[in-house]
Amino acid sequence: MTMMNALSRHLVIRGVELLGLLTLAVLGLTLGHSPYALGLLTLLAIYAISLIGLDATVGYLGQVNLAHAGFMGLGGYAAGLMVAHFGVGLLPALCVSIVIGLVLGGLLAVPALRLEGPQFALATLSFGTFAVLCLNELESITNGAQGLTLVRPALLGKGTLDALSFYWLCLALLAFVWLGARRLMEGRWGRAIAALKDSPIATDAMGIGALRHKVLAFAFGSALGAFAGGLYAFNLGFLQPQAFGYELSVTLLLGSVLGGRKTVWGALVGAGLVVLLPNLLSNRSVFLVFAGVGAVLAIGRALLAASRREWSFAILAPALAMVLLLGIALKTPDLESWRKGLFALILFAVVVGLPDGLMGFVSQTLARLVRLPQPPLPPAAALDAVLPVRPARGATVLDVSGLKLYFGGVRAIDGVSLSVAPGEVLGLIGPNGSGKSSLVNVVTGLYVPTEGSVTLDGSRIEAKGLLAASRHGVSRTFQNLQIFGDLSALDNVSVSLRGAYRLMWPLVAAGLGHAEEQAAQSHALALLELVGLTEKARIRARDLTYSDQRFMEIARALASRPTLLVLDEPAAGMSRPDVAKLKTVIARIKARGISIILIEHHLDVVAELTDRVVVLDGGKEIAQGVAEDVRRNPLVIEAYLGSAAHTEAAA
Amino acid sequence: MNRTGYAVALALLSLAGAAQADSIKIALTGPFSGGSAPMGVSTRDGAKLAIQEINAAGGIKIGAKKYTLDVVERDDEAKNERGALVAQELSSMTDLVAVVGTANTGVVLAGDKFYQQAKKPRIISVAAGSAAMGQWTKEPTVVPKGELYAFRFSANDGVQSEVIIEDAVKRQGLKKLAILADDTNYGVSGRDDLVKRLAAIPGVEVVANEKFSIGQKDMTAQLLKAKSAGAQGLFVVGIGPELAAIANGMGKLGYKVPFMGSWTLSMGNFLDNAGAAANGAMMPQTFIQEDFTPRARSFIAAYKAAYKVDRIPSPVSAAQGYDSIKLLAAAIEQAGSTDGTAIKNALENLNKPVEGAIAKWSHPYSTWDPAHPESHEAFRKERVVVGVAKDGHVTFAHEEDKKRLEALDR
Amino acid sequence: MDFSIFGQMAESGAAMGMAYALIAYGFQLTYAPSKSVNFGQAECVMLSAFIALTLIGTGMNYALAVVLTLLAGSLLGMLVERVAVRLALQQKNEGWILLTIIFGLFGGSVAENVWGRDDRPLPTPIPGDPIAIGSISVTWYEISIVVGALALMVVIELFRRKTLLGKAVEAVAADPEVAGLMGINSNTAIALAYALSGATAAFAGILIAPITTVGPTMAAGLILKAFSVAVVAGLESGFGVIVAGLVLGMLESLTSVYVGSGWREAPGIILLVAILALRPNGLFGKATVRKV
């Protein structure tokens, strides 16, 4: 019975996709005689490919990418020049486009590495502008502003390809890219990139690699953009640098947002709107119908919210925008002159009112109306397979020696030495600002110490960042949660598994990644079982309760089979029953032979679970020993509560 | 569309409504936005004036019935790619009879192949780059005798540069010249033509050859290079806003030398934005907004009345748009059908003179011959005069030009 | 002969550079309290210039028209904040990038339809004749850009440091939570910052209009250049934008004459990307420490 349901769900989703592609095919057959309509449909397929690429940086990475048109231009010219100067066929020319996109995309990602938000947008804008500038100025190669006229070559060389065959080619390529991209993005790469969007810090700390995936996302997206650009060049038979400037980048960006993020359907819908909007505008009555429907929906939603007294900008503003849209549309006989403005209003309504884009909204609504069961999860693997017991190797696992960390005049750590034995739980306590977090940040590779060394399992940890430390065998949770909010609990853990994904991407794109995916899921389930979150595996991390998120972070930190686990205030904000559960979890981890550094304020947690405690104050160690003894140490009391005289006076 | 445009449109619509299905659809294309807009808008408005007059007189007679002219407008934004899309769309419209307009050479180059493929007659009303016709004379796009559907109704840059060079070299005696051209197809085509012709004149040297791009406002670099090379005069090829930037730049640098160039120096947005710096600029023109002939007078009066302006944004474009329609209407009537090939043949063999705003046109075109592209060009050198900018208007630079046109008209 | 070309180009570059610096300064004003900037600033410059055109066209006193345009620019800035920025700030995401781009798109369309798509001159009492300083020609327009930009920046700085409102904005910039606890409404402070930014955009539009003419594309390349100036100087570098503006303006101008006019934007872009890669906080900005 469940098999049938799972199969039927699969069939329904794939069936709908097939329907979409079939519709395009049918349209091609029926409208193929009109070169104009055919040109538009081909353009739609090309833009859809481009937007699937753009989704990698905009939908998954969550950044504003204004370089995409530039990549289309570079890909277009690369293919065009190959044909014009070397007479190669269509397919080899397109391969050149892809390579150009990959290489330049990867190169652009390097300086754009550390950038977020507006700076990233600016860097991409600069690249896009520069690409067009070069295409315009290198007249001897590209014919500059006057443009390049191209003849569409046959697939492999001799002769030309007619428009209808070209359309079928583009459709076939779209289907190919669609399937491949979907498989890749629904698998570990998409998850890793989405993780990167939610928390680059955790992405590094869990050993996934923020840099690597950022570059991959950008290179992948740009390669598809360049590929689409190559097709674009041969669709129109004419290339001009100015066509690939800021305006096109904004159009693509907005098309992507309009269609919806993280969905290939969104790319198709977005592409459709972008390509067909000008035509829609020249047919006034059709546009008015669409605008009317949109306005009714937006106003209806606003009225519904108003009746519940839920006044919010996100509900009201789209309604106002749609009213303005209708107003302009009704008052202007020539809609084409308001094209940019009308596009902007539609976008505003969607960006504010439907943050997941049109397809996001549609799929969410459909999910609520039509309940298709999810495919069942595989059984959890045995814990021994996922997290084997660590044999003790050597006397100490972690050695910190003479550590100093100064930030200008602030001495965060002022000469601390400690060590952690295999399988030991070391408590690290001290008042706020004593240097606990700074210490673990050095141990986990985030900060470069001013002096001193950190050695793990005999080899020195160079402060080369969270990723290197993670590879070394250190894992951690965070005082301020760094969950991958958009991913499910299960995905949070599975994306962090080390060595679980070995299959090369072409094979995954071809659809052969299923077995590996199942194995990874069963491993991840084992870890979720350890922390007691098995039933909540499918819930999106940001929708979990606060305590559950903390437990999930622990499971996630274990995914990389660490030698040393740092828990940074895991009990903060937890209720009593949850604290009790936490103690059980930590005991289980300890039983696996993993050494733990535990930063905590909850004294009973410290007392029960730690083997030893180190107390810091003002960047220096002031006491060390068993929790019981440390608690009675006068220095410790003074550090926490002030001098004895003061406490007496206060009492 | 401005209010006066509405009036014309309403008139058209009402008349078209009266005639119902008995209408002939033609398309007007051109840049209705951007720096080229004065050209596109004037062409369209001039054309619509002609259409209104024709419709008011009952329309075009085919067989026993009279057909009114119905208009479809498309803005190509002076962008080649958009032009190609527009051309693709229009050539797919089966009920579209002909296309008139286009001001930018690049747009013609990108789009006209679609009209040719669809066998739709088209008249280029403004675009002057020789490449626009030149593309049909050589491989890979050569068109055999008698099979070209594109006609040009404007003075191409070959004719224009001949006229303006004559003025500069013979009349003004300039020997060292600098060329400033924009980087579009039009600018490059015009520049190449100038260079070729100047090279053939002994004793005359091109001392500086600079380019600029659309949207550029600061021309100091190019002007300084021309100045330091000792240029005695400047030839400029571009459109209104950039030409104004050059004129203003010259003013800023205190660089006062004869300033000549493409016909686009008559555009309203050049005159307005350059202000006093525009005075003295000279350009070849096929039409000047002055009452130098009765037909010019009546056209100007009709245009002013219909569109409520004092100065036509681009008089050349307006007059050429008007006359293009007149020629097309005559051809359709002569062909007695809306078949593209029949209209093309009729245009090549007009047997009755057509009264236009610029002239009385007798057999302006002949059967297409790729060896002689002028077979589809309406303007020869004698029809082109030199205009000069003065206080926001363009007037005749030389009295004898004015007299020659008056004589041609008799 | 060579120095005069160099000097002339440096001069005209420096003048435009001051215009970029003024707009970059406007970016800083909003970045400080809200970590956001208006990606549609170019359209705000353009809309304000058109408003000035209309006002002056009614025949009113030029100075009055300027003041009213500044006011209009401020209102425009506040509109941007309310419509495009506030929601994203509340949701603590970067949606304002997209929304301000969308706002700019809409603004551009409004301008095209209300005022037409043509470029037009802005009537100004500033004389157009050049003055010769040595072998270099300077126009009063260019002088007005330099003087005007500096004057407005000084006025706004004084406002920020000496008035209570200005200090309130500073407080929000330093720590919004604490400022809130002290009774300063961060929404109002940010709206005020955007109003000031809108005023700088409006003033920039008026200053550059005599050179660029007023048209829908008058500020087209401006966004990237002003941004480059802001980022190269550092988004919190105060008057560092003046240095960066002058340098980038001159670099652009000199490239156009010595390398080629089409390449003139290249050095600015390369410099921008280099700074973003190597010193993301700008040449004059302060380095920040990441806290986990």
Contact A84, A234 (CB under 8 A): no
The distance of A410 to chain C (nearest Cα, Å) reads 12
Contact residues, A window 269-308, toward C, CB-based 8 Å cutoff: none
Q: Which of A238, A281, A334, A335 to mutate to test the interface with B (most CBs of B within 10 A)?
A: A238
Cα-Cα-Cα-Cα dihedral sign, residues A295, A298, A302, A304 = positive
With an 8 Å Cβ cutoff, are A36 and B109 in contact?
no
Q: Does A208 lie in the same domain as A115? A: yes
Cα-Cα-Cα-Cα dihedral sign, residues A554, A560, A564, A566 = negative
With an 8 Å Cβ cutoff, are C105 and A136 in contact?
no
pLDDT of residue A6: 56
Contact residues, A window 179-208, toward B, CB-based 8 Å cutoff: none
> Number of H helices and number of E strands within chain A?
28, 14
Contact A248, A67 (CB under 8 A): no
Contact residues, A window 409-438, toward C, CB-based 8 Å cutoff: 437
Q: Does A440 lie in the same domain as A474? A: yes
Q: Which two tokens stand for residue A463?
A: 């402060």
Domain extent for A195: 45-275
Contact A539, A490 (CB under 8 A): no
Share of chain C above pLDDT 70, in %: 97
Last residue within a domain, chosen from A346, A376, A406 = A376
**Averaged over A153-174, what is the pLDDT?**
86
Contact B76, B104 (CB under 8 A): yes
pLDDT of residue C32: 86
Q: Does A405 lie in the same domain as A356? A: no
A240 touching B, CB under 8 A?
yes
- The highest-level CATH class for domain B158-285+385-409 is alpha beta
pLDDT tops 90 at residue A22 = no
Strands (E), A421-537: 425-429, 451-456, 459-460, 474-476
**Averaged over C278-286, what is the pLDDT?**
77
The distance of B363 to chain C (nearest Cα, Å) reads 37
Query: Which residue of chain B has the CA closest to C115?
Result: B2
With an 8 Å Cβ cutoff, are A149 and B109 in contact?
yes
B297 touching C, CB under 8 A?
no
Residues 6+ apart with CB under 8 A from A303: none
With an 8 Å Cβ cutoff, are A36 and B92 in contact?
yes
Whether a cis peptide bond, with omega within 30° of 0, leads into B140 is yes
With an 8 Å Cβ cutoff, are C105 and A441 in contact?
no
Q: What is the C-alpha to C-alpha distance for residues B54 and B48, in angstroms, rounded to an integer?
A: 10
Q: Which of B210, B213, B224 to mutate to test the interface with C (most CBs of C within 10 A)?
A: B224
A202 touching C, CB under 8 A?
no
The distance of A163 to chain C (nearest Cα, Å) reads 34
**Averaged over B354-366, what is the pLDDT?**
91
Of C106, C78, C91, give the one whose Cα is nearest residue A348: C106
Cα-Cα-Cα-Cα dihedral sign, residues C112, C117, C123, C128 = positive
pTM beyond 0.90, yes or no: no
DSSP letter string, A105-116? HHHHHHHHTT--
- Determine the Cα angle at A512 with ends A507 and A516, to 5°: 105
Q: Which of C43, C79, C102, C281 to mutate to test the interface with A (most CBs of A within 10 A)?
A: C102
Contact residues, B window 120-159, toward A, CB-based 8 Å cutoff: 140
Q: Which residues of C are less than 8 Å from B244 in CB distance? A: 119, 213
B187 touching C, CB under 8 A?
no
C214 touching A, CB under 8 A?
no
Of B403, B273, B279, B325, give the one whose Cα is nearest residue B49: B325
Q: In angstroms, how far is CA A526 from the centroid of its own chain?
A: 24
Q: Which two tokens stand for residue B199?
A: 């090279």
ipTM of the complex: 0.90
Q: What is the C-alpha to C-alpha distance for residues A352 and A248, in angstroms, rounded to an integer?
A: 22
With an 8 Å Cβ cutoff, are C217 and B222 in contact?
no
Residue A506 in any domain: the answer is no
Number of Cβ within 10 Å of residue A170's Cβ equals 25
Q: Is A593 left (phi over 0), alpha (psi -120 to 50) or beta?
A: left
Q: Does A340 lie in the same domain as A241? A: no
C114 touching A, CB under 8 A?
no
With an 8 Å Cβ cutoff, are C97 and A352 in contact?
no
pLDDT tens for each residue of B220-240: 889 999 998 999 999 999 988
Q: Residue A364: in which H helix or E strand, if any?
A: helix A357-369
C1 or A56, greater pLDDT: A56
A283 or A351, greater pLDDT: A351
**Averaged over C30-43, what is the pLDDT?**
91
With an 8 Å Cβ cutoff, are A136 and B188 in contact?
no
Which CATH number covers residue A473? 3.40.50.300
Q: Does A334 lie in the same domain as A303? A: yes
Q: Which residues of A are less than 8 Å from B181 in CB distance? A: none
pLDDT tops 90 at residue B45 = yes
Strands (E), A309-464: 398-407, 410-420, 425-429, 451-456, 459-460
Tell me what the pLDDT averaged over chain B comes to: 89
Residue A424 in any domain: the answer is yes
With tokens 């009266």, the residue in question is B18
Q: Which residues of A are less than 8 Å from C95 in CB distance? A: 351, 355
C123 touching B, CB under 8 A?
no
pLDDT of residue A651: 44
Q: Does A206 lie in the same domain as A246? A: yes
Residue C178, Cβ density class (10 Å: 0-12 exposed, 13-18 middle, ≥19 buried)? exposed
Q: Does A77 lie in the same domain as A191? A: yes
Residue A78 in any domain: the answer is yes
For the ranges A91-95, B33-37, C255-259, the lowest mean pLDDT is seen at: B33-37
**Which of B38, B222, B251 shows the shortest C-beta gap to C128?**
B251
A542 touching C, CB under 8 A?
no
Structural domain total, chain A: 3
Tell me what the pLDDT averaged over chain A comes to: 86
For the ranges A122-131, A381-390, B380-389, the lowest mean pLDDT is seen at: A381-390
B84 touching A, CB under 8 A?
yes
Q: Residue A521: in which H helix or E strand, if any?
A: helix A514-530
* Domain residue ranges of chain C, discontinuous segments joined by +: 25-222
Q: Does A414 lie in the same domain as A367? A: no
pLDDT of residue A619: 86
Q: Does A477 lie in the same domain as A371? A: no
Residue A9 in any domain: the answer is no
Q: Does A290 lie in the same domain as A225? A: no
**Which of B79, B88, B213 shows the shortest C-beta gap to A36?**
B88
What are the residue ranges of helices labelled H in C129-185?
140-162, 164-174, 176-181
With an 8 Å Cβ cutoff, are C280 and A119 in contact?
yes
Domains B3-155+290-379 and B158-285+385-409 equal at CATH topology level: yes
Last residue within a domain, chosen from A240, A275, A310 = A275
The distance of C133 to chain A (nearest Cα, Å) reads 34
Q: What is the C-alpha to C-alpha distance for residues A295 and B188, in angstroms, rounded to an integer?
A: 49
Q: What is the C-alpha to C-alpha distance for residues B286 and B408, in angstroms, rounded to an integer?
A: 13
Task: Show contacts of A103-107: CB within 8 Å, 24+ apart.
Answer: A104/A71, A104/A74, A104/A222, A104/A226, A105/A71, A105/A218, A105/A219, A105/A220, A105/A221, A105/A222, A105/A223, A105/A225, A105/A226, A106/A215, A106/A218, A106/A219, A106/A222
B256 touching C, CB under 8 A?
no
Q: Which two tokens stand for residue C258?
A: 């010595």
Of B129, B188, B166, give the one whose Cα is nearest residue B377: B129
DSSP letter string, A150-188? ---EETTEEEE--HHHHHHHHHHHHHHHHHHHHHHHHTH
Residue A77 in any domain: the answer is yes
A165 touching B, CB under 8 A?
no
**Averaged over A396-422, what is the pLDDT?**
88
Q: Does A217 lie in the same domain as A83? A: yes
Query: Which residue of chain A has the CA closest to C268?
Result: A126
Contact A132, A73 (CB under 8 A): yes
pLDDT of residue B10: 47
- Determine the Cα angle at A473 with ends A433 and A478, to 5°: 35
**Averaged over A473-500, what is the pLDDT?**
90
pLDDT tops 60 at residue A485 = yes
The distance of A276 to chain B (nearest Cα, Å) reads 12
Q: Which two tokens stand for residue A488?
A: 């499910």
* Residue B214, SS3 per DSSP: coil
With an 8 Å Cβ cutoff, are A111 and C274 in contact?
yes
What fold characterizes domain B3-155+290-379?
A: Rossmann fold (3.40.50)
Tell me which chains share at least 3 CB pairs under 8 Å with chain C. Answer: A, B
Q: Which of B188, B220, B272, B307 to mutate to test the interface with C (most CBs of C within 10 A)?
A: B220
With an 8 Å Cβ cutoff, are C87 and A342 in contact?
no
A136 touching B, CB under 8 A?
yes
Residues 6+ apart with CB under 8 A from A517: A187, A188
Split at pLDDT 50, 70, 90, the class of B85 is confident
Q: Does A411 lie in the same domain as A317? A: no
pLDDT tops 60 at residue B1 = no
pLDDT tops 80 at residue B140 = no
pLDDT of residue C287: 60
The distance of C157 to chain A (nearest Cα, Å) reads 24
Contact residues, A window 65-94, toward C, CB-based 8 Å cutoff: none
Split at pLDDT 50, 70, 90, the class of C289 is low
With tokens 């369209």, the residue in question is B44
Q: Which residues of C are less than 8 Å from B213 in CB distance? A: 261-262
> For chain B, how far is it from start to end, CA to CA, in angstroms?
37
